[in-house]
Structure 1
C-alpha cells in the first residue's frame, strides 16, 4: 500500500527537473538521447534511448537497465514496485515516475523528418496499408499536446475515433498534409508549426495559445 500511496503522491507533486547528463554515469556502448535528474532526488539519474524498450537508472554508483512498457501508467509503475530483480525503494519509484514524465516530453521532440512546409513527421509504427487518397474519409485516433507536454484533446480518451474528408480543409493544414503522408495502420507523431495549425489566433478559448507548435500522436485506422 505504501507504494500505491507514493504513486498517487507523485501525481500531485511538481519538481524542477534537468534533462542533462552531467551528473550521470556513462553507459558503455550506448547513445543516450535524454537524461533526467532532479534536485529533489540527489544522486539519481535516469537515461533514455529513443525507440528503446528499456532505460537506465543509477543506484549506488551502478547503472541498472529497467524494462520500459509502451503504456507508462500506474499499472506499469506498480509492476516495477514489486519487481523481485529491481527491488526499488519507494523513493526510486517516485523518481522513475517523474523521469517518465520528463522523457515523454523529450521523446515527442526526437526523430522527426520535416517537409518543405515545416511539418514534422515521426513514425512510431509503420502501417501495412496504402496511403489514403485525397477526398476520401479517413478515420483517425489522436492525442494532442502542447510543447510543454500539456494534453489538450484526445479521441483515445473519449473512445471515439475522429473522421474527416482528407484534403478538403475540414481540419488544420498540418493534419491534411500529415495524414496524407502516412499509410493506413501507421502510428506517428505530427509536429505542427503554428503556420499549419491555429496561427496567431490560437483555439479552444485559450486552451491552445497563439503561435503554438502542436504535437499530435495519431493512428490512421482506415479509409471509409
Structure 2
C-alpha cells in the first residue's frame, strides 16, 4: 500500500510540474490557474482552466479571452458550433479545434486535482463543507449525485432526474466507494469521490460503465432519515 501511495504522489508531482511548465508559456491571469494546455501543432495558442468554473481562458501570443462554457455539455457538438458562430469571440476553425482538444484534456486532468486519498485508495475532494454531522451507518441517507467516467463522460445523474437518491448507509446496498465515501462526509456537504475499480464495479461491465473503470461521483449529502 505504501508503494502505491508513494507512486501516486510521484505521478501527481510530475503532473504539477508539467502544468507549471505549460503555464509559463501562457499569458498571466488575475486568478490562480489549475491547468494549462499547449500543443506544438498550434503555435502561440494556449488555454487555461480553473476548477469548478464554467469558463476558461483562451489566448494567443498577444491577447487573452475569457470564454464561457458549460462543461456538462462539452460532448455536445452544438456547444462548440455556438462558440464558433459567436462573432464577438472571432475564433477561427483552427482555434475551435484547439479548444476542443484542450477541453477534452481538461476533462481528464481536472479529475486528478485536489484529492485526498484514503488507505483504501478512495479519493475525496471537498467542494463545500456541510454544517451537519456525519451520517450514521445503518441509517437512510439522501443524496444527489452525478457519475462520470475518467474521460469526463457522464453515465448517470439523480440531478437530471430531479429526484434525490436514498440508500441504507454501510450495508452494502451501494458500491463500496459510496459506503466509505459518504461516511466521511457531513450532512450538507458536497464532494467529488474518485472511486477505483476495486471499490466500484471491479471487472464487471455495467451499462455504460466499462469493466475495471475508475469512477468520479459529484455527490451532495442532503439529509439523513431518522
Note whether the superposition's TM-score is higher than 0.5: yes
Q: CA deviation at 1:43?
A: 3.1
CA spacing shift, 1:185–1:106, aligned 2, 3 Å: same
Residue in structure 1 matching 2:112, options 102, 109, 114: 109
Q: CA contact under 8 A between 1:46 and 1:55: conserved in structure 2?
A: yes
Q: Whole-Å Cα distance in 1 between the matches of residues 183 and 23 of structure 2?
A: 41
Match of 1:66 in 2: 66
- Could you tell me how far 1:79 is from its partner in structure 2? 9.3
Aligned residues of 2:27 and 2:59 also touching (Cα < 8 A): no
| Contact in 2 for aligned 1:27/1:63 (Cα 8 Å) | no
Q: Secondary structure at the match of 1:175?
A: helix
Instruction: Map Cα deviations across residues 83-137 of structure 1 (whole Å, 9 max, x no partner).
Output: 9xxx311435675565444323321221100111110000111122221111111
- Structure 1 stretches lacking a partner, 5+ long: 1-18
* Cα distance, 1:153–1:51 mapped onto 2, change above 3 Å: closer
SS state at 1:156 partner: helix
Post-superposition CA distance 1:22-76 (Å, at most 9, x none): 89335379764322245775532111244568643213x2352627677765999
Say what the alpha-carbon RMSD is for the aligned residues. 3.4
Given that 1:25 and 1:63 are in contact with CA atoms closer than 8 Å, whether structure 2 keeps it comes out as no
Check 1:118–1:23 CA distance in 2 against 1; reply closer, same or farther (3 A cut): same
Please state if 1:203 is matched with 2:211.
no
Give the TM-score normalised by the residue count of structure 2. Answer: 0.71
The alignment covers a number of residue pairs equal to 200
Separation in structure 2 between the aligned mates of residue 71 and residue 194 of structure 1, nearest angstrom: 25
Find 2:149's aligned residue among 146, 149, 159: 146
SS at match of 2:132: coil
